[in-house]
Chains A and B, each alone.
Chain A
């Protein structure tokens, strides 16, 4: 197997140019999918037989909650790659993930609270799912705080990578919390053994929104990564050429 692609991804100028080129594609695809998903989810999908139109909060709650977990996993994997292969670009990916992941976690918590109030009668409960998601939010904040406490980028990379990797144990805890414990939160109706239990006209807009939000995240990550690479490499010769274009 050829590893040239992996080595190329370790090259800051290559990554910078690639990211700059890919941003509009991901951005526009995400925008179109989210608009289509909104129309499908808010207008076309039928109301739920138990939750009426209130269930439509699902279309913003699930994509943000799913991304809050996925972004953390990407961050931890990137941090591990950076630590093991001493790859600067991987550390830059991890650093770029954190603020976006934190914002998705905040959105998942806020939309979940607004969904919980009419359905459970409370905005907040110290329930396993809610508490572990809140812990995820603090993990992101801790990661960002730890990074900003170092002046030296390489030391910030190494220290924060360890925190990111250790914190990843929280991800399966969040995902399986509704199975392991008696949670107020409803169980998963899409990612479960035996296939989805949600009706197709409700599932399709959810998948469109989830894909749209994922592509949106990639676009944001690529912009942040470009900025991070530029900041780290500003003393390098390739920067002059890259800025001219």
Chain B
């Protein structure tokens, strides 16, 4: 445990070092989240448009 707390202290730089790593990895994970959300939205929108087009084509054949 002492070795681990020693590691966490980072030679007295803990209060600068860990926030730096925290900010970086927050941005890393946010980018993953944003990119996946963008893809999910694009898929949903494209699917919606496909359904709309198929319904329109159906209406035309019935008319």
Contacts and interface: CB of A to CB of B under 8 A. Distances in A.
Q: Do A and B come from one complex?
A: yes
Interface of A: 42-43, 47, 52-54, 56-57, 60-61, 64, 99-100, 103-104, 106-107, 110-111, 114-115, 117-118, 216, 220, 223-224, 226-228, 230-231, 234-235, 239-240, 243
Contact of A54 (B17, B21, B28, B41): B17
Interface string B16-33: 110111011001101110
Contacts of B47: 243
27 contacts: A47-B11, A53-B10, A53-B11, A57-B17, A57-B20, A60-B21, A100-B31, A107-B27, A110-B23, A111-B20, A114-B17, A115-B20, A117-B16, A118-B13, A223-B36, A224-B39, A227-B42, A228-B42, A230-B43, A230-B45, A230-B46, A231-B42, A231-B46, A234-B42, A234-B45, A234-B46, A239-B46
A230 B44 CA distance: 10
B38 interface: yes
Interface residues of B, number: 30
A60 B45 CA distance: 36
Interface of B: 7, 10-13, 16-17, 19-21, 23-24, 27-28, 30-32, 34-36, 38-39, 41-43, 45-47, 49-50
